[in-house]
Structure 1
Amino acid sequence: MSRSRRSAAPEPTVRGRGRDRHGRGIRSSATGPFLPPLRTRIDLFDMTIASTIEYLRGVWPEELGTSVFEVASGPTSVIPGVGVERWMVTPETNRVVFYRLPIQRLSRLHENDEMHQRMMIETCVFRGVAELLGKDPWDLAPDRFRHF
């Protein structure tokens, strides 16, 4: 019995943008489709900065309406006698840059849990914005701390 031969060459496989090894489909996230995505320290830091700035813009809309807030990993230099800055305020351009690594790693917390980390980040945001506005950090949200 003779075998039939194909006269046409096999068609090349079409590969998408994702990785499809051995026809198993494109890779999914590490947590899978049924679990929430992982939260990292960077995500927590960015969300805390954004929510605190959003709150302060609601309290001080005229003063912070044109302000620019940025997050950088760290300062480029160390100031002699002061040390590593946690934030940098530039009043001429109405800009505040928060440095993530010094805030997260050089802060000494008596309890190192998520709540205390958020409080440290919020404290740095309040202090940076207060320096930009020329006010005391406690004066930025006076009604927030009155519980009577």
Structure 2
Amino acid sequence: MPRSRRSSSPEPTVRGRGRDRHGRGIRSSATGPYLPPLRTRIDLFDMTVASTVEYLRGVWPEELADVRFLTAAGPATVPAGTDVSIERWHVSAAERRVVFYRLPIQRLSRLHLNDEMHQRMMIESCVFRGIAELLGKDPWDIAPDRFRHF
């Protein structure tokens, strides 16, 4: 019996966010097809970094007046084959710049509860530690009144 002549590689299945399933029509997000998502992880990260930096600029106005704070997805180069951990932020004291890396902070951090509050606390702690490194201080010393609740 002759075999059918098929290509050697099967056609890839195209699956996207607008897939028609069981004749129900194209799927859309909960906010509808014409509106952007209400809150994304990137927005949450940027908002948390910005609010923490704004708070610390109020505490240290002279020291942080000309400092630029940036966010990036990750470091440009990661050393291959070494035991060096991936950095969560990069401080350049000469350029007065601190860059916070979103993916290492969000994905490589071990949280005992993975909810929005603990994610925000992890981002804030990285911002505190990055700014403390820039100022040459201990992270607990850059905002001592924030932790005094009594």
Report the counterpart of residue 59 of structure 2 in structure 1. Answer: 59
* 1:87 matched to 2:111: no
Indicate the percent of aligned positions where both proteins have the same amino acid: 78
Q: What residue ranges of structure 1 are gaps of 5+ in the alignment? A: 1-28
List gaps (5 residues or longer) in structure 2. 1-28
TM-score when normalising by structure 1? 0.75
Aligned mate of 2:124, from 119, 122, 136: 122
Provide runs of 4+ in structure 1 moved above 3 Å.
none
Q: Distance in 2 between matches of 1:48 and 1:36?
A: 20
Higher Cα Rg, which structure = 1
Structure 1: distance between partners of 2:74 and 2:67: 20
Correspondences of 1:1-148 after superposition (within 5 Å): 31=31, 37-79=37-79, 80-148=82-150
Tell me the TM-score normalized by structure 2. 0.74
Q: CA RMSD in A?
A: 1.8
Alpha-carbon distance in 2 for matches of 1:31, 1:81: 44
Per the TM alignment, residue 82 of structure 1 is displaced from its structure 2 partner at its CA by 2.4
Q: What's the CA shift for 1:30?
A: 6.2
Deviation by residue 1:10-30 (Cα, 9 ceiling, x = unmatched): xxxxxxxxxxxxxxxxxxx96
Larger helix percent: 1
- Aligned pairs, number: 118
